[in-house]
Amino acid sequence: MAPRLHLGVFFTGVGPQLLWTEPDFAAHTHIDTFIATAKTLERGLFDAFFLGEGLRVRENRGRIHDLDVAGRPDAITQLAALAAETEHIGLVATQNTTYNFPADLARRLASLDFVSGGRAGWNIVTTDNAWTGENFRYGGWLAHERRYERAGQFVAAAKALWAGDGETVERHSDLVELRAAASVPASPQGRPVLFQAGDSEGGRDLAARHADVVFSANTDYDKAVAYAADLRSRLKTYGRSPGSLKILPGASVVLGDTPREAAEKAEWIQREQTNGPRALAFLEQYWGKDLSGYDPEGPLPAIEPAEGELDPSRGTISIEHRTGKLERVAAWRRLAEERDYSIRDLVIEVNPRHNTFVGTPGQIADEWTRYVSTGAVDGFNILPQLLPGTVEDIVDKLVPELQTRGVYRSEYTGRTLRDHLFEAGA
């Protein structure tokens, strides 16, 4: 039997990915949009619908980042509403291990599993936005590696509570202090399905130790192959089988009836995603200086960037960009000069957030079949740019092509999220 692709959608909400400016785009904060999206995905037999977490609106150099003014409502609350409106699709809440508490979060996630009849998932993140801590009287609190230390202890404590038969679970460390018993009975899946997102050494290790699924950032084929090999060797270290962890990289999809139509649409989306203020904010992270006085349609700033690497607590920076800043900026200057790029043109070209799969439904189905057949991935977590357009196109045009190639289900065979992800032959 051909391996099966598993699909999820990561609903990013208001922010740089999802466009909201055209009058016919769905409202990003209205529950009806979430319900309609989840129902469309269920029609397309998706494994999961994900919500991200933002506990504080994004900032850039102390100012609210341009399109983030609406913030993101709490994921578990929203998913509880979706549980009542859907029947099969998994409901995955991103929740951090830095500012939550294990007994409280374990209880809330088990509650989602009850409400949804066994469809709850937890996307474990440590949260990279240092300023988030200020909402919890913690400020920057923990350095990057210490966050992962706390995450490991936190997840182990939550798992013990879910497995605990009412027994008291105790943990005493400088990062997790706990003496608690589960406050609800075992939920339908026993515990929610555990997802992990975060690509550093600490993130990969956490995934190999605890996760059922990784929401990876390694989407390009060669990176996906290398990432899968790395994770599988880590799984071995923890005595786990290679099939016990599903790898779902994030993916952006732009479909067209012809390759040219898809390419033109992708270009339009990318320009819309990178408006002037956002292009400046992107560069400010690298310059470490206020660039708000520059014209985004004009040339790159003539002033030199600040010394020192990027702040690792910045959420918008990919892992490769955490070192080599000055060389990178010098290369960008050469590129901008060579091609006569404005600030905005340059950011569109170099921002790692790009549309990863662009083409006709048949082209993308062929490509995804190669990814899954070679074991590079177990599926994708799609980040839509247009609602309802992206999800409707995928469900109506791409899913049938995947089914024809034998790499996608033709019906749900189980009831729980774990059933979908680990279905026989998948």
Binding site for ligand FMN (CB under 6 A): 52-53, 94, 96, 125-128, 197-200, 202-203, 215, 217, 250, 319
Of 230 and 261, CB closest to ligand FMN: 230
Shortest reach from residue 376's CB to ligand FMN, in Å: 17
**What is the phi/psi pair of residue 127, to 5°?**
70, 120
Nearest one of 143, 162, 142, 129 to 57, comparing CA atoms: 129
Shortest reach from residue 234's CB to ligand FMN, in Å: 14
Of 280 and 387, CB closest to ligand FMN: 387
Of 10 and 287, CB closest to ligand FMN: 10
**DSSP, res 192:** P
Of 37 and 127, CB closest to ligand FMN: 127
Shortest reach from residue 385's CB to ligand FMN, in Å: 15
Lateral strand order in the sheet of 90-96: 246-247, 213-214, 193-196, 120-125, 90-96, 48-51, 6-11, 379-382, 250-251
Residues shown for the chain: 426
With a CB cutoff of 8 Å and minimum separation 6, the contacts of 152 are 205, 206, 209, 210
Of 41 and 343, CB closest to ligand FMN: 41
Shortest reach from residue 72's CB to ligand FMN, in Å: 8
Of 278 and 353, CB closest to ligand FMN: 353
* First-residue to last-residue Cα distance in the chain: 8
Of 40 and 127, CB closest to ligand FMN: 127
What is the C-alpha to C-alpha distance for residues 369 and 292, in angstroms, rounded to an integer?
Answer: 45
Shortest reach from residue 203's CB to ligand FMN, in Å: 3
Shortest reach from residue 11's CB to ligand FMN, in Å: 10
Shortest reach from residue 6's CB to ligand FMN, in Å: 15
Alpha helices in 178-275 (DSSP H): 201-210, 221-237, 259-273
Of 81 and 217, CB closest to ligand FMN: 217
User: Angle 325-339/343-350 helices, nearest 10 degrees?
Assistant: 120
What is the C-alpha to C-alpha distance for residues 18 and 141, in angstroms, rounded to an integer?
Answer: 30
Shortest reach from residue 285's CB to ligand FMN, in Å: 15
With a CB cutoff of 8 Å and minimum separation 6, the contacts of 252 are 17, 354, 355, 356, 357, 382, 383, 385
Indicate the SS3 state at residue 37: helix
Nearest one of 251, 164, 147, 141 to 205, comparing CA atoms: 147
